[in-house]
Amino acid sequence: MTTLKARFAGLALIAALCAGFTLGLTAPAWAGWDEGVAAYQRGDNATAFREWRPLAEQGDANAQSNLGVMYKNGEGVPQDYAEAMRWYRKAAKQGYANGQNNLGVMYGNGLGVPQDYAEATRWYRKAAKQGYAEAQFNLGITYHNGLGVPQDYAEATRWYRKAAKQGYAKAELNLGLMYYNGQGVPQDYAKALQWYRKAAEQGHAGAESNLGRMYYNGQGVPQDYAEARRWNRKAAKQGYAIAQFNLGHMYDKGRGVPQDYAKAMRWYRKAAKQGYAEAQNNLGVMYDHGLGVPQDYAEAMRWYRKAANQGYANAQSNLGFLYGNGQGAPQDYAEAMRWYRKAANQGHATAQSNLGVMHNHGLGVPQDYTQAHMWFNLAASRFPRGKDRDKAVKSRDLVAARMTPAQIAESEKLAREWRPKK
């Protein structure tokens, strides 16, 4: 049987390195700065570049760093990472924190230079020690992910906290996540909620979505579906895919809102069009079962395939089921096997059970009781207690009745040595 499950989406972590652009610092005394700011703010990048270039050439670090940003992004000039590096380096060598941070971003992402996390970390640290929040955040990212330094959650938390105390929303979000997961600090949902709220109140979509999740699950606060819906809607309206998926799930299940499959479809589709695999899978489920739309196996298959191609195990299993039953495409046991195997290799219990069925009956593969027994055994070990597990156990034992003791021992050895893989 196909697994057709919707679930509330996971927490957001900001993992990208951030580069800064300066408009609000004290203006240089030289003419042209204010004109450049005004031009940039009205979207006239070419004029901004033309006004700031002479200042940069006269050694103004602020203008040098901004020219670097414009070359990096192709604003007012053709994109040119090497030229961006050149201007960032000029600013950085003057001790200008923004330029140091931006130079670190270029090394961290391998833009205009070979990727070099150690060098990126060196420049982030220079800027971070000056109290530059973006660099403190970026230094937190490097320790969080072990980029150029040994992974160290406590050190990541320390740098996130420095940036968060300056009101830097991305750092507030990540500090909340550290408390949520108990990484570098004792797990503390109340503190996670506190930091998420600070970032969410600045309009940070990831924090809004995470705050919604905590209300949905009653973590750090009493469970409150209405409040979960409110925060997810804020994030969803900003185009945040996880929140769009979560809103779809709430309408799908009638949690905090009346059940409404049409609205569920609308939010799932928004997230799915952004490539969010869980939403693509759930959109497939809606078409598969005719929920909010006419039943359409071909359309279900189309959405399952999008998610399956991203490695999403539920969708791979669902796609296998459609091929095995000839729904949305001609029946094709070999193709069903292929997709079941992809999901089963990730530890998907339903796919493992279905692989057992295929091997037991010789569908898409030669009949093989040893393989059938192994997959039923693995499925039984992964299903929670209930009818699905009972069915896998019964199937395993029925196959075992046809096997020799040596075959059973071999199957059990295969199951014992099996490890999940992508």
The pLDDT value given to residue 180: 96
Arithmetic mean of pLDDT, 17-40: 64
The pLDDT value given to residue 33: 85
Please give the residue that has the higher pLDDT: either 167 or 9: 167
51 CB contacts (<8 Å, ≥6 apart)?
A: 32, 33, 35, 36, 39
Arithmetic mean of pLDDT, 279-292: 97
The pLDDT value given to residue 10: 46
Question: Does residue 382 form part of some domain?
Answer: yes
pLDDT (tens digit, 9 = 90+) per residue, 350-407? 999 999 999 999 999 999 999 999 999 999 999 999 999 999 999 999 999 999 999 9
The pLDDT value given to residue 19: 56
Count of alpha carbons within 13 Å of 131, Cβ hemisphere only? 3
Q: Can you say whether the dihedral through the CA atoms of 223, 229, 230, 235 is positive or negative?
A: positive
Assess contact for 111 and 84: CB atoms under 8 A. yes
User: What confidence tier does 25 reach under pLDDT thresholds 50, 70, 90?
Assistant: very low
Kindly tell me if the per-residue pLDDT of 111 is higher than 60. yes
The pLDDT value given to residue 422: 74
User: What confidence tier does 335 reach under pLDDT thresholds 50, 70, 90?
Assistant: very high
The pLDDT value given to residue 4: 34
Kindly tell me if the per-residue pLDDT of 6 is higher than 90. no
Question: Does residue 400 form part of some domain?
Answer: yes
Assess contact for 211 and 185: CB atoms under 8 A. no
Q: How far is CA 316 from CA 140, 235, 303, in A?
A: 36, 29, 11
Smallest Cα–Cα separation from 232: which of 218, 253, 249? 249
Question: Does residue 421 form part of some domain?
Answer: yes
Question: Does residue 187 form part of some domain?
Answer: no
Query: Which residue range forms the structural domain that includes residue 380?
Result: 349-422
Question: Does residue 52 form part of some domain?
Answer: no
Question: Does residue 413 form part of some domain?
Answer: yes
pLDDT (tens digit, 9 = 90+) per residue, 33-76? 889 989 999 999 999 999 999 999 999 999 999 999 999 999 99
Question: Does residue 136 form part of some domain?
Answer: no
The percentage of residues in the chain with a pLDDT greater than 70, rounded to a whole number, is 93
Arithmetic mean of pLDDT, 78-91: 96
Rounded to an integer, what distance in angstroms lies between the CA atom of residue 416 and that of residue 406? 15
Can you give 131-189 as a three-state secondary structure string? CCHHHHHHHHHHHHHCCCCCCCHHHHHHHHHHHHCCCCHHHHHHHHHHHHHCCCCCCCH
Kindly tell me if the per-residue pLDDT of 13 is higher than 80. no
How many structural domains are present in the chain?
1
The pLDDT value given to residue 1: 32
Question: Does residue 392 form part of some domain?
Answer: yes
Lowest average pLDDT, out of 2-6, 230-234, 301-305, 328-332, goes to: 2-6
Kindly tell me if the per-residue pLDDT of 12 is higher than 60. no
Rounded to an integer, what distance in angstroms lies between the CA atom of residue 337 and that of residue 264? 31
Kindly tell me if the per-residue pLDDT of 153 is higher than 70. yes
Kindly tell me if the per-residue pLDDT of 203 is higher than 80. yes
